[in-house]
Chains A and B, each alone.
Chain A
Amino acid sequence: MGKINAYVPVYASNQDATQLSWQNPQSIAKGGKIATIGNRLYQVEEDKGIHVIDISTPAAPVKIGFIKNSLCRELSLKGNYIYTNNLNDLVVLDVTNANTFRVSARISNAFPDLALQYPPVTNCYFECADPARGIVIEWRLQQVDNPKCKR
């Protein structure tokens, strides 16, 4: 087969992948679902985290920060709390204090099918994921010599 385009897993350690953190505003590359409460608008950055946007002046929205959150896909809001997924866990983020947050709860393995064990498309070749190397947090399409897995 030789070199062909195939998906290659990007790994993170369990510690990195379960560590959420507040960061400076990030660029929106693969924007995802949105949710809003009060003057805040949140947009998922697929698999990467949550953009935090101030819309108190709707004509002049301002990105105020980014919550790094591996495999983030979903979010919902109540009061000062964000309910979201981190990997396939349910996590609750307390955003009472501006420009930061803390994780107030985690329920492990609440969403088993949110794990990234396979590439984002079917009918493709990929480098088989090796759990010993960590948690898959992304798949990148690149040239691979004789990829072993197909799905």
Chain B
Amino acid sequence: MKKYIFASLLLIIIFSASCTKDSVGTSSNEVGQNGSLTRFIVVNNYLYTINNNALKVFDITNPSTPVYKNTLQVGFSIQTILPYQDKLFIGSNNAMYIYSIANPELPAKLSETAYFVRGHDPIVAVDSVAYATVRNGFGGGGVLNCFNIKDISLPQNVNILRMTDPYGLGIKDSALYVCEADSGIKVFNIAKAYIPVLKNEIKFNETAYDVIVKNNILICYIKAGVALFDISNVYLPVLIATVKN
């Protein structure tokens, strides 16, 4: 396989019926939603942050007053962090790290998977797949990786799709949204989790970087600000508003 230069970032999303939580109003313990590009994430009573090489843990049991707990060295060029169940998925320019937060104050490394290690037999299982985008450093495309994470200690990269300029991603039901910068948003059908099928390309004259799925609304971080789509039909996002200037 052609050698890639990972000058950019990784993003991951897990596909599971239990991973989307609809929110109405703001209760005192409700956790907000971040885009997939985030480096700060709240999981219950803890704030996890990443910088270039380390993961930090803050106790926010009292949300107004964080208490610093730990710093763990993870790797190099860390880009993104995503919580899933009692795990943290951490993406760097060339690897995906999975940590257990069964002990939330002291995450424990479960696995580290370099990219482009091809797995063997694609297995479709809706609750055990992670999607990750990797963008090349010099404006030359990128890929969408599909990882089988049934065995969390040994993730397998079971499918790789070429992309134009991939950034952040998000999931609603069986739709996977991948931001493609100037090429807009691509919508995949992931009913067969390891075989995403391109259903739609949303080009709307904006540069799309990241998304948050919020009930029937897709909130998109664009270069000029924010765009909102109605995704009542998950494969057919309809632009309903932008916030620019």
Contact = CB atoms under 8 A, between A and B. Distances in A.
Contacts of A83: 40, 42, 47, 60, 66
A90 B58 contact: yes
B244 A105 contact: no
Interface string A28-41: 10011111111111
A39 to B, nearest CB: 8
Contact of A35 (B30, B38, B52, B64): B38
Which of B32, B34, B240 has the largest count of A CB atoms less than 10 A from its CB? B32
Interface residues of A, number: 44
Nearest to A84: B40
Contacts of A51: 225, 243
A102 B230 CA distance: 34
A114 interface: yes
Interface in B30-81: 30-35, 37-42, 47, 49, 51-52, 56, 58, 60, 63-66, 68
Interface string A84-119: 100000101010000000001101001111100000
Contacts, number: 150
Nearest to B47: A83
A111 B51 contact: yes
Contacts of B58: 90, 107
Contacts of B60: 78, 81, 83
B187 interface: no
A92 B49 CA distance: 14
Given A58-B228, A92-B64, A113-B52, A35 B241 contact: no
A38 B221 contact: no
Contacts of B88: none
B219 to A, nearest CB: 6
B9 to A, nearest CB: 12
A37 B68 CA distance: 24
A37 B64 CA distance: 17
Contacts of B39: 73-74
Interface in A19-49: 27-28, 31-41, 43
Contacts of A111: 49, 51
A53 B225 CA distance: 11
A76 interface: yes
Given A27-B245, A111-B49, A58 B64 contact: no
A43 B225 contact: yes
Contact of B244 (A28, A40, A59, A94): A28
B233 interface: no
A34 B66 CA distance: 22
Contacts of A31: 221-226
A110 to B, nearest CB: 7
Given A74-B49, A80-B28, A105-B64, 16 more contacts: A31-B223, A35-B38, A39-B26, A59-B230, A74-B38, A74-B39, A77-B31, A77-B33, A77-B34, A79-B26, A79-B29, A79-B30, A83-B60, A104-B65, A105-B65, A113-B51
Interface of B: 23-35, 37-42, 47, 49, 51-52, 56, 58, 60, 63-66, 68, 210, 212, 214, 217, 219, 221-226, 228, 230, 240-241, 243-245
Interface of A: 27-28, 31-41, 43, 51, 53, 55, 58-61, 63, 73-81, 83-84, 90, 92, 94, 104-105, 107, 110-114
Q: Return the 8 tightest CB-CB contacts between A and B, nearest first.
A: A77-B32, A38-B26, A37-B32, A76-B40, A104-B64, A28-B225, A79-B28, A59-B240
